[in-house]
Amino acid sequence: MNIHEYQAKDIFERFGIPVPRGMVATTAAEARAAAEEIGGEVVVKAQVHAGGRGKAGGVKVVNTPQEAEEAAAGMLGINLVTHQTGPDGVPVRKVMVAEATDIKDELYISIIVDGDLGVPVIIASTEGGMDIEEVAEKTPDRLFRVAGDPLLGLSPYHARDVAALLEVPQSAQRATAALISNLYRVFVDNDCSLVEVNPLVITGDDQVVALDAKINLEDDALFRHKDLAALHDPEQEDELERRAGSADLAYVKLDGGKVGCMVNGAGLAMATMDITKWAGADPANFLDIGGSADQGRIEEAFRIIVSDDEVEIILVNLFAGIARSDVVAQGIVNAAKETGATLPMVVAMRGTNAEEGRRILNESGLDITAAPDLAGAAEVLRDKLASAAGGAQ
Ligand code: GDP
Ligand code: MN
């Protein structure tokens, strides 16, 4: 789960990490009042679950409360499109108004779990700021990594090491090492999957400050952080992923494909994506209905798949155990009739009540081709795609 910058900075403050003084505003008038209270130069920042705001007009340094009000008015209510959002962008409902920082140097620091090492790893670079992706791509040697230890944490020695590698001024070394240790505690204590500070700033008077803050929380650990779970902002999420989440379905949108995949189980999802590729196509998404899907959830699953404009054909691959084929079939038929969806479907059903499921589909009058198994589904899909391509010429 993602949270907003202002929420991440609240957490940072609780862990003793210096951030610029700031306030949240939901109206332009509030932004003006905040700028008046802070005084002097302030920065107005759109609060969205996406980076790249600086290059997209979502971060503005201004000199007066009047300008802060105008900057906020220009952001609030719009959908901000950055290189990290889809083409529709994400809605700006809040802005942060913060004391402007006199920046001498922009550094980069993040913590993630390294899947190979199985430990939290600090990634840092002297080349922080808005072009970090380019640094990572073109000069990866400018990013260095220091591993923590799941039992021992991050040793003070390692924290000092990172501070030294970041080449911060001598007088800021101690504060930087402390900041790094605290950042590591933020990561571990809150069960984060990502903590990122870009930029970590050295100010004109050699103070170290977290100018930006990004925290991703591990969904599977949220049950033990009720206060953090409350920070959820569903408005920032993809609408279909949100709908799937609230129906307890696992939906993943994939780029560029046209085959909508409905499956039960993660392993079957992977196999289904493989056969889709084998058939010469790409998945547009996959939706995992899980083990014990009731009819209402199947109907919602189908509605979600057909709401994805890129889907041209649907591949249903079911290995029914606890989930029953007839329930899934009836759910699909109900939802297809309700939505008026006319997309062709290739359906492989095995397991509990598979025959009854096939009968329901066959008698539905919908454009459904039954396949005996996974391999059969691949062939039917390939033929369907070939004839669709031929028909279009
Ligand atoms: P992001 O683009 O969404 O990651 O937003 P950031 O919070 O990282 O801000 C983007 C850039 O705006 C930073 O890299 C800075 O160069 C600039 N910026 C942000 N806050 C300030 C500030 O207080 N003073 C100055 N001078 N620049 C700032
Ligand atoms: Mn940033």
- More confident site: 332 or 294: 332
Tell me if 59 CB under 6 Å of ligand 1.
yes
Nearest to 184 by CA among 130, 237, 146, 221: 146
For residues 186 and 298, what is the distance between their CA atoms, to the nearest angstrom?
Answer: 39
Residue 291, pLDDT > 80, answer: no
Can you tell me which residue has the tokens 């004109």? 204
Tell me if 212 CB under 6 Å of ligand 1.
yes
Q: Which of 32-41, 291-300, 327-336 has the lowest mean pLDDT?
A: 291-300
Identify the pLDDT of residue 216: 97
The CATH code of the domain at 239-387 is 3.40.50.261
Q: What are the backbone dihedrals phi and psi of residue 59, each rounded to the nearest 5 degrees, phi first? A: -135, 120
User: How far does residue 55's CA lie from ligand 1's centre (Å)?
Assistant: 9
- Whole-number percent of the chain with pLDDT over 90: 77
Identify the pLDDT of residue 237: 86
- pLDDT tens for residues 73-114? 999 999 999 998 888 899 999 999 999 999 999 999 999 999
Identify the pLDDT of residue 83: 92
For residues 178 and 170, what is the distance between their CA atoms, to the nearest angstrom?
Answer: 14
Residue 342, pLDDT > 90, answer: no
> 3-class SS at 74?
helix
- pLDDT tens for residues 252-274? 888 889 999 999 888 889 999 99
| Domain ranges across the chain | 21-99, 103-229, 239-387
* Mean pLDDT of the residues in the chain: 93
Residue to probe by mutation, ligand 1, list 44, 103, 132, 201, most atoms within 8 Å of CB: 103
Tell me if 57 CB under 6 Å of ligand 1.
no
Residue 392, pLDDT > 60, answer: no
Tell me if 54 CB under 6 Å of ligand 1.
yes
For residues 241 and 232, what is the distance between their CA atoms, to the nearest angstrom?
Answer: 14
Residue 391, pLDDT > 80, answer: no
> 3-class SS at 29?
helix
CATH topology of domain 103-229: D-amino Acid Aminotransferase; Chain A, domain 1 (3.30.470)
Tell me, what DSSP letter sits at residue 191? T
Residue 293, pLDDT > 80, answer: no
Residue range 111-120: mean pLDDT, rounded: 94
Nearest to 196 by CA among 265, 252, 143, 237: 143
Identify the pLDDT of residue 139: 92
**pTM exceeds 0.85 for this model:** no
Q: Which CATH number fits domain 21-99: 3.40.50.850, 3.30.1490.20, 3.30.70.270, 3.50.50.60?
A: 3.30.1490.20
- pLDDT tens for residues 309-318? 899 999 999 9
Q: Which atom of ligand 1 is nearest to the CA of 103?
A: 26
Residue range 4-24: mean pLDDT, rounded: 98
Identify the pLDDT of residue 292: 67
Tell me if 388 CB under 6 Å of ligand 1.
no
pLDDT band at residue 393 using 50, 70 and 90 as cut-offs: very low
Can you tell me which residue has the tokens 């050699």? 206
Ligand 1 atom 9: the closest Cα is on which residue? 54
Q: Which atom of ligand 1 is nearest to the CA of 56?
A: 2
Residue 67, pLDDT > 60, answer: yes
Residues 6+ apart with CB under 8 A from 393: none
Identify the pLDDT of residue 370: 85
- Whole-number percent of the chain with pLDDT over 70: 99
Contact (CB, 8 A) for 39 and 22: no
Contact (CB, 8 A) for 369 and 313: no
Residue to probe by mutation, ligand 1, list 19, 108, 200, 211, most atoms within 8 Å of CB: 211
Residue range 124-140: mean pLDDT, rounded: 92
Residues 6+ apart with CB under 8 A from 372: 348
Identify the pLDDT of residue 185: 97
